[in-house]
Amino acid sequence: MSSPATSGDREKVVSKLPGWLRQSLKVRTAQRGVDIQTAVEEGISAWSALAASLDTVDTAGADSFATFLPHGQWDAFKSVAKTRSVSLTQGLAQAVQLWLDAHPTPDIARPTVTRRLIVCNQKGGVGKTAATAGLGEALAEDPNTLRPVQIAKQLAVANDGEGDPLDVENLPGLGLRVLLVDFDPQCHLTTQLGAQKLPMDGDSLTNHMGSSPKGDLRDLIVSVDDDNFGGRLHLLPACNDAFLLDVRLSSVRAREAALERALAPLEPDYDVIIVDCPPSLGLSMDAAVYYGRRRDGEAPGQSGVLIIVQAEDSSADAYDLLTNQIEDLRNDLGIAMDYLGLVVNLYDPRRGYIATSSLEGWMDIKDPRVVAIISDRKEQREAVRTKQPLLSYAPTSPNAVSMRALAREIS
């Protein structure tokens, strides 16, 4: 039936659709950036123009479905359905299925050059590891499933979970192939994701960077939560031998390229490689920054450094030290290095003036700019305690919603 309610030049239509078909329509329209009402309008127009009806669609369990159609289209559709001796529910189901068949799932937009995201800060405890994991998880989520994503209209308002619900939109996952690299000798990323640290007497990333590999680096990679990420999210675990990496790099030729030499063979297997850096300004940090430089033929902003900070004073001091090192390396080696942005992590406005004024200070920086504000929430700590990915443990939590927004902001 149709009702007097209107949306512009449209009228509200209420009919029935089976749940599976309604869900497919929601996902496909989100993937293609099309309004549901537009898809239904196009499907009905195409169905009505056919010489005969299509194969019967299973409409068992169909329940209420409402949308807005151009004035007169629904009445014309009912007339065609009557002529073809099909119910309105069956006719609408055929029309929706016809639109889905004509608009298949789009291919994942994969980068021509593997993106390299270097997550860093000289200061420890700012949440680099949590940001690395959450970002990688958000990039790897199922492209055929809708998840809540924060649509940040005003970053300065902060991510306190009390904002307008219209700031959250259900969008399909990005479906990228992601490798997380635990480059920190403390192995926090490895343990947080429930993986085992590599043994000291075995092979490791340190060995490959130090020109003494004991095997193929691929053999060390583990898959993270295949049920939720479909085999798209992998981890290169860390080993405590990384404490000795700077010493080993001191005797390696072209040591700034050591990380690139080690990871380059893995790049064809991934769309994005994310490196969780240690809180250090040593040679290993030089190697990480160099790995994130812009390569020939690569568009600006595809690879680079993502700096994690907190809304407090010591984080600002560490930021200055890090950016000075990056600038020195950029000038000394003549490389193009892009800042992907600042992530203000563990933000809690209840901490008062220090937190709010520090946030304002970060927001005042325009290059690099703040690309996300991640609140201090219990779900993140619980995910770490249970050694599960945040987006598996609490997929609708405020932090998960913000991680998805961050993934899209830097994509």
pLDDT of 290-311, one tens digit each? Answer: 999 999 999 999 999 999 998 8
Mean pLDDT of 10-30: 95
Please report, rounded to a whole number, the percentage of residues in the chain having pLDDT higher than 90: 76
Q: What is the pLDDT of residue 126?
A: 86
pLDDT tens for each residue of 109-126: 899 999 999 999 877 788
Q: Residue 332 pLDDT more than 60? A: yes
Q: Residue 7 pLDDT more than 60? A: no
Check whether domain 115-409 has CATH 3.60.9.10, yes or no: no
What rounded mean pLDDT belongs to the chain? Answer: 91
Domain 2-102: which CATH number of 1.10.4190, 3.30.300, 1.10.10, 1.10.1220 = 1.10.1220
Q: What is the pLDDT of residue 411?
A: 84
- Cα–Cα–Cα angle for 102, 107, 112, rounded to 5 degrees: 150
Write down the pTM of the prediction: 0.89
- What ranges do the domains of the chain cover? 2-102, 115-409
pLDDT tens for each residue of 226-272: 999 999 999 999 999 888 898 888 888 899 999 999 999 999 999 99
Higher model confidence: residue 152 or residue 11?
11
115-409 matches 2-102 in CATH topology = no
